[in-house]
Structure 1
Amino acid sequence: MPKALILIADGTEEIEFVTPYDVLTRAGFEITSAGIKLGNERHAHCTRNVRIVPDHPTLQSVPPQSAHEFYDILILPGGGPGAKTFATYDPVLDLISTFRKAGKWVGAICAGTTALVASQKKNGGDKGTVTSHPSVEKEVKEAGWDYGDQGERVVVDGKVITSRGPGTAMLFALTIVEKLCGKEKRDEVAGPMIVAEAL
């Protein structure tokens, strides 16, 4: 089964972290979470005051060090302050670039898309079509990225999956399952969760 690395910082949106972690676990993924510049060594203080303990307190403590060779997808949740941490922290920007250059998947939701944009600005590489939370849409467009239609809650362009916000986290997670494991696995996971057909 695929392996996923999901990042978390102080100010990460908890729904956008927990939902992919939960759904991908149900699909059989091996999930690892890593804290990024946490103020408290044990937990991330998220946007709605939920505290989450990542599997590893720092990115540097995640084994193995060649993460792009071990993991199949890197996931960047949003939440304004957390996304800003990702987008201004060189090890995260370099990790995103390494995943993309290796042909691995990168998923970003809400303001997490700004880290994808910042990584491309720092390290080069292809731009593409993405979506994000409306609050950072202008920033994404001004960086020269194509922006998905307003009605698209998830945009897939090559090996990049982006989504809009907390209310699209379930669709984001199920899209990751479908792209890495197939529609049959997505349906198998969605059924017992009683996912709304409109999703």
Structure 2
Amino acid sequence: MADTKRIAFLTAAEGIEAVELTGPWDAVTGAGHTAALISPESGEVQLFNHLDKAETRPVDVTVADASVDDYDALVLPGGVANPDALRTDEAAVALVKAFVEAGKPVAAICHAPWTLVEAGVLDGKRLTSWPSLQTDIRNAGGTWVDEEVVEDGKLITSRNPEDLPAFNKALLAALS
């Protein structure tokens, strides 16, 4: 497939909301694209169904070995602990910032915009998230709205797992 894209999924080691990783992952791979799981450390990451442990997933590439040039888009799954841990990892934050600066699609759901806040890339952007992040987003220069999916240039955001159908549709459209 000539238009096959490589999609990076960036997560911390644990606290990833399972469906917010697996839903977009299945959408992009089902459309014929290649997905890669990037995390600060090698091994496996622990997914959760809200607060209960779910499956684990193998890490494909560490943040230290990841390059924006190797991927066509970035997906940031939510979960509370996942983006909270990522935003304290300088290399992960730098990778997110590099994706935004490269003008590549970046899709973040639920609590994932916390990493975008830390990357300092929200000034003048319109986006959504889990409602508890709205003050953080506004303080970072963004405009928070309560909508199913928000697209501002190459930035795609959604509020929660119920928004995954619209989130995945916007993500796939950005890849075409």
Superposition TM-score tier, normalisation by shorter sequence:
0.7 to 0.9
Distance 1:176 1:19, change over 3 A: same
Q: How many residues align?
A: 170
* TM-score normalised by length of structure 2: 0.88
Task: Report what 1:146 is aligned to.
Answer: 143
Task: Report what 1:44 is aligned to.
Answer: 46
Q: How big is the shift at 1:43?
A: 3.4
Distance 1:3 1:130, change over 3 A: same
Secondary structure at the aligned position of 1:50 is classed as strand
Is 2:3 the counterpart of 1:8? no
Please, which of 127, 136, 146 is the counterpart of residue 130 of structure 1?
127
In terms of fraction of residues, the more strand-rich structure is 2
Structure 2 unaligned residues grouped into runs of 5+: none
- Asked whether the 8 Å contact 1:16–1:109 carries over to 2, the reply is yes
State the 4+ residue runs in structure 1 displaced beyond 6 angstroms. Answer: none
Q: How big is the shift at 1:45?
A: 4.3
Secondary structure at the aligned position of 2:10 is classed as strand
The structure with the larger Rg is 1
Distance 1:17 1:45, change over 3 A: closer
Give the letter for the 1:145 counterpart.
G
For residues 159 and 111 of structure 2, the distance between their equivalents in structure 1, rounded to whole angstroms, comes to 8
For residues 126 and 142 of structure 2, the distance between their equivalents in structure 1, rounded to whole angstroms, comes to 6
Structure 1 unaligned residues grouped into runs of 5+: 182-199
- Asked whether the 8 Å contact 1:34–1:54 carries over to 2, the reply is no
Supply the RMSD in Å over aligned alpha carbons.
1.9
Secondary structure at the aligned position of 2:38 is classed as strand
Q: How big is the shift at 1:77?
A: 0.6
Task: Report what 2:98 is aligned to.
Answer: 98
- The alignment-based identity, stated in percent, is 30
In terms of fraction of residues, the more helix-rich structure is 1
